[in-house]
Amino acid sequence: MYTTRMSQSTTSETPSLQEAVASLTSDFALLENWNDRYEHIIGLGRELPPYPEEHREEAYEVQGCQSRVWLYPEWRNGKLYFHADSDAVITKGLVAMLVQLYSGRTPEEMMTGSLDFLKEIGLTSHLTPSRVNGLQAMFMKIQQYAAQHQQGETS
């Protein structure tokens, strides 16, 4: 139930960001109530690979989150890949959702992203304001990493 269609894809081609967002939105639409949706979010967090302990440091901690969140970027073949963790289960699921959408993309593609889909799936109205702020801080950190790597690529 927790694995999305995006991660079940058998093709080697990565879906576009818009396709990945549409898939995630569709996955949430299939869930009947908010208890199921929270369970789905928690399940996404459980699917995250173990976070590298050597990167559990302040430089990779997302500021602006009530819980502790780490987001470590790895640059390979012109794309950014993210490792993430949190000390809170729902927050870990939220960062996993962003990693699922943005990891393995070019900085240019990441810079075109937004959190607009959160309203469509109803998440912003079912999270506390501090969690919404934390989610925005995680997204901003992803875009900050993308901008840094984008600038590094052009020089």
Asked if 85 and 51 touch (Cβ cutoff 8 Å), the reply is yes
Bridge partners, 70 (sequence order)? 61, 85
Could you say which of 20, 41, 65, 69 is catalytic?
65
Question: How far from the centroid of its chain's Cα atoms is residue 61's Cα?
Answer: 14
Which residue in the block uniquely carries the two structure tokens 């912003």?
Answer: 124
Residue 41 CA to residue 149 CA, distance in Å, equals 29
Q: Is 65 a catalytic residue?
A: yes
Q: Please choose, from the candidates 100, 82, 80, 102, the residue with its C-alpha nearest in 3D space to the C-alpha of residue 153.
A: 80
Spatial neighbors of 53 by CB under 8 A, at least 6 apart, are none
The beta strand positions in 38-144, using DSSP E, are 69-76, 79-86
- Catalytic residue annotation: 65
